[in-house]
């Protein structure tokens, strides 16, 4: 039986197909550039509808995440014409706007009646705006994403484990609401025997080479009080990046790493965490929400064996690291008119609903606020709850120069055990001050 949610997708989709019609413009071969991951495969399938309706042909250039930023930022910085459409990371928006890599979308949005108020506010700020907080748009929110958690619900529900945990902690073994509870659960499962196999508490982000450990540690830092700058004085870092709360948050992340991860997980990011979870090594995994459709369909951990929860709160707040991307038209493309047709098509509610159903994460409010959305997938409510608490890394034009020292400082402390948390964050303040001085900001 089809749900009302699915019936609305099919019904509206039929209307869209009938009204959009073939493009009056000359057929073009468009190339869309993105990362190589499951959502990209879903977009290839979805885009067949655009090809049929517009007459344009779509090609795709997908690059694995560890190499995605280097490859595509080099393409943009060189003025390359490989990509007509770019689904670029949220942190790229500042540099791509300032350096003229993306075309400004305001006039196009106005002409086509595309209203940014129709999208989840956090995704507009994170994926489309530059400068932040101003109505200047360089992308359409394309893929809402956020760091959350997956857990072995079937393990948690075992009566003998429930009883043991209740006796030890005085509460039910359930999805944690706080970071303290998360660590208690991770410690409970660490080195435990499950069905004759040794398992571990959690897989977390520790990767050093690109952005991994930064995208992980911020989920602790934010919730202990870390701030990127003085809210009243931009780019004033001292006492905010290295506040007492921030130090405590970094210490927490190291303690979670020291107590509760699988051996050999000193350089793990998305794919390694997925593999550890699906192979039954860990009770919980930190990862972006994009993995959840794959978890649900997996023969080992899907079909009700897994549950989902937002990043837990800490003593200083409740936030989660924003992921996700906007879709932009590359300024160096010679096919901008056809590329804008793709944006117009992709922005339609019918297409956005189909995007969600095919494994993408729509940022359109008409989709996520639909009465049937929260029950449309086992992880849908967790996605909504998570997107309500997002916070993002610097989106400054110099974001890469800001990311590299954070990767180094955090990894050296958390994984390599060098120095103290205070020393790591004091050093980061110094590094970031130098970046902003070089940029002429401070």
pLDDT in tens, 243-290: 999 999 999 999 999 999 999 999 999 999 999 999 999 999 999 999
Q: Is the model's pTM score more than 0.85? A: yes
pLDDT for residue 239 is more than 60: yes
- What mean pLDDT do residues 75-90 have? 97
Q: What is the pLDDT of residue 377?
A: 97
- What mean pLDDT do residues 113-128 have? 97
CA-based nearest residue to 139, from 361, 333, 340, 362: 340
Q: What is the pLDDT of residue 13?
A: 43
Question: Which of the four pLDDT bands, split at 50, 70 and 90, describes residue 442?
Answer: confident
- What mean pLDDT do residues 35-59 have? 97
Least confident of 15-19, 311-315, 390-394: 15-19
- What mean pLDDT do residues 200-204 have? 98
pLDDT cut 90: percent of the chain above it? 94
CA-based nearest residue to 408, from 376, 431, 438, 433: 431
Euclidean distance between CA atoms 418 and 211, whole angstroms: 19
pLDDT tens-digit map of 321-335: 999 999 999 999 999
Tell me if 303 sits within 8 A of 278, measured CB to CB.
no
pLDDT cut 70: percent of the chain above it? 94
Euclidean distance between CA atoms 234 and 247, whole angstroms: 21
pLDDT tens-digit map of 301-356: 999 999 999 999 999 999 999 999 999 999 999 999 999 999 999 999 999 999 99
Tell me if 411 sits within 8 A of 266, measured CB to CB.
no
pLDDT for residue 83 is more than 80: yes
What region does 314 belong to: left with phi over 0, alpha with psi -120 to 50, or beta? beta
Euclidean distance between CA atoms 101 and 396, whole angstroms: 14
Q: What is the pLDDT of residue 25?
A: 56
- Helical spans, DSSP H, in 65-190: 65-77, 93-98, 106-112, 121-127, 153-156, 159-169, 179-189
- What mean pLDDT do residues 15-30 have? 59
Select the more confidently predicted residue: 7 or 377.
377
Question: Which of the four pLDDT bands, split at 50, 70 and 90, describes residue 118?
Answer: very high
**CB neighbourhood size of 225 (10 A):** 18
pLDDT tens-digit map of 125-141: 999 999 999 999 999 99
Torsion of the alpha carbons at 393, 200, 311 and 137, rounded to the nearest 10: 40
Average pLDDT, the chain: 94
Radius of gyration of the chain from its Cα atoms, rounded to whole angstroms: 22
Structure letter (DSSP) for residue 26: P
pLDDT tens-digit map of 87-106: 999 999 999 999 999 999 99
Interstrand relation of 85-89 and 320-329 (parallel, antiparallel or unpaired): antiparallel
Set out the domains of the chain in order of their start, with CATH numbers: 4-146+323-391 (3.40.190.10), 147-321 (3.40.190.10)
């Amino acid at each position: 039986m089809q749900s009302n949610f699915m019936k609305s997708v099919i019904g509206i989709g039929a209307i869209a197909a009938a009204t959009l019609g073939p493009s009056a413009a000359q057929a073009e071969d468009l190339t869309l550039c993105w990362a190589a991951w499951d959502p990209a495969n879903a977009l290839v399938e979805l885009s067949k509808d655009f090809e049929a309706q517009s007459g344009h042909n779509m090609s795709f250039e997908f690059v694995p995440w560890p190499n995605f930023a280097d490859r595509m930022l080099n393409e943009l910085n060189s003025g390359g014409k490989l990509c007509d459409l770019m689904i670029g990371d949220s942190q790229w928006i500042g540099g791509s706007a300032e350096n003229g890599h993306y075309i400004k979308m305001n006039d196009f949005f106005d002409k086509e009646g595309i209203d940014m108020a129709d999208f989840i506010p956090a995704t507009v700020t994170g994926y489309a705006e530059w400068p932040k907080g101003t109505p200047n748009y360089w992308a359409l929110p394309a893929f809402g994403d956020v760091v959350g958690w997956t857990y072995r619900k079937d393990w948690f529900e075992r009566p003998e484990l429930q009883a043991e945990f209740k006796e030890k902690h005085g509460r039910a073994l359930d999805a944690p609401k706080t970071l303290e509870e998360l660590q208690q659960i991770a410690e409970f499962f660490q080195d435990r025997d499950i069905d004759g196999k040794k398992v571990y508490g959690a897989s977390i982000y520790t990767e050093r080479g690109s952005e991994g450990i930064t995208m992980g540690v911020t989920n602790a830092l934010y919730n202990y009080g870390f701030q990127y700058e003085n809210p009243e004085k931009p780019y004033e870092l001292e006492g905010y990046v290295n506040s007492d709360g921030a130090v405590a948050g970094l210490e927490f992340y190291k303690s979670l790493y020291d107590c509760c991860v699988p051996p050999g997980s000193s350089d793990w990011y998305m794919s390694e965490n997925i593999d550890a979870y699906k192979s039954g090594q860990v009770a919980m995994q930190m990862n972006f929400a994009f993995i959840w459709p794959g978890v649900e369909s997996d023969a080992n951990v899907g079909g009700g064996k897994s549950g989902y929860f937002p990043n837990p709160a800490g003593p200083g707040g409740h936030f989660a690291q924003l992921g996700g991307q906007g879709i932009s038209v590359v300024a160096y493309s010679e096919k901008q008119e056809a590329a804008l047709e793709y944006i117009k098509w992709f922005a339609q509610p019918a297409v956005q609903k189909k995007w969600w159903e095919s494994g993408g994460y729509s940022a359109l409010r008409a989709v996520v606020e639909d009465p049937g959305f929260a029950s449309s997938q086992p992880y849908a409510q967790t996605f909504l709850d998570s997107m309500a608490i997002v916070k993002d890394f610097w989106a400054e034009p110099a974001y890469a120069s800001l990311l590299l020292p954070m990767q180094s400082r955090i990894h050296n402390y958390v994984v390599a055990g060098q120095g103290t948390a205070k020393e790591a964050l004091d050093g980061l303040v110094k590094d970031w001050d130098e970046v902003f001085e070089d940029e002429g900001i401070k």
